[in-house]
Structure 1
């Protein structure tokens, strides 16, 4: 009774079996990230020769926690850490919308996947880079209004 549902579930995870002695099993996996924060700089569009253009901008997320042991709330008990994320948008429609409408200070929600890569800097030193490749962007507010 339980065996049939398990076989159906198992089939969802097995994509291909080769005819060699060792069957090749490709499993499904997940690489998803969700970020909610403020844009740190206006986007730039870059294009490397022979490759699709990409829109790039930075996004800040904040983490806050109480640092004191006191039961009474005090303003200096709150500690905040800001983390900066590099967002890259490759999808043609989304890339153009992000380039045109994402502005510094805007509050946005980004869904995507994390990509780890390497590049050579101008001094021929190998560097590592972590990038969020955006699949979806939701605009939550206009730019922060400047105080007059």
Structure 2
């Protein structure tokens, strides 16, 4: 099945960071995304969607370091259903997003920080353990995520969960473009014999 979520929004609270027993960083953020639409009477109305987002590994640490309440981000991930019992014994549930990549959309000046390594603003986790303890202490199966090189944002480098930065996608893109241009056959359009009409 296909399970993909892309959402742009603002943080509703500061990042909550904690570490699992395995040493993996886990950050939880609240995200609010607004939808503005026009009613039949011509007036405008706004609908806000609130959802919790969970980030793992290096993305979680970066979020904790650079994001604060009100920060604008783009999250790409998958929808996750969580259920638990509250302290009164009632069953509770909610949908969350498990982030596979995060991109900061605010300018550096409005955030009040300077980014390391030039213009690097997009972060992905390419490897985190298949068994991750979710935020309510239950074990859930997580699929291994590998999004390195997937994004079309050629100006940003990806950072993996082990802290390494792969080669810049911009360079691999240019190399692929050169190979593509070499494979294009040359067609002579000056000859009137080959025109089908």
TM-score range, shorter chain: 0.5 to 0.7
Distance in 2 between the 1:47 and 1:96 partners? 10
Q: Among 60, 64, 72, which residue is 1:107 paired with?
A: 72
Please list, as runs of the form range in 1=range in 2, the aligned pairs for 1:84-95 lying within 5 A after superposition: 84-90=50-56, 92-95=57-60
Please list, as runs of the form range in 1=range in 2, the aligned pairs for 1:108-127 lying within 5 A after superposition: 108-127=73-92
Residues 48-78 of structure 1: per-residue CA shift (max 9 Å, x gap): 66784420010111111112435xxxxxx11
Q: Check 1:64–1:86 CA distance in 2 against 1; reply closer, same or farther (3 A cut).
A: same
Q: How many residues align?
A: 110
What's the counterpart of residue 135 of structure 1? 100
- In the alignment, structure 2 segments of 5+ residues that lack a partner are 111-197
Indicate if the aligned counterparts of 1:119 and 1:129 stay in contact, CA closer than 8 A.
Answer: no
Indicate if the aligned counterparts of 2:25 and 2:61 stay in contact, CA closer than 8 A.
Answer: no
Alignment RMSD (CA, Å): 2.2
What's the counterpart of residue 45 of structure 2? 79
What's the counterpart of residue 19 of structure 1? none
Indicate if the aligned counterparts of 1:31 and 1:113 stay in contact, CA closer than 8 A.
Answer: yes
Identify which of structures 1 and 2 has the higher relative contact order when contacts are C-alpha pairs closer than 8 Å and 6+ apart: 1
Indicate if the aligned counterparts of 1:62 and 1:81 stay in contact, CA closer than 8 A.
Answer: yes
Distance in 2 between the 1:102 and 1:142 partners? 12
User: 1:111 deviation in Å?
Assistant: 0.3
Distance in 2 between the 1:122 and 1:51 partners? 28
Structure having the larger proportion of residues in strand: 1
Distance in 2 between the 1:138 and 1:84 partners? 18
What's the counterpart of residue 11 of structure 2? 39
- In the alignment, structure 1 segments of 5+ residues that lack a partner are 1-28, 71-76
Distance in 1 between the 2:55 and 2:70 partners? 18
Counterpart secondary structure, 1:99: helix
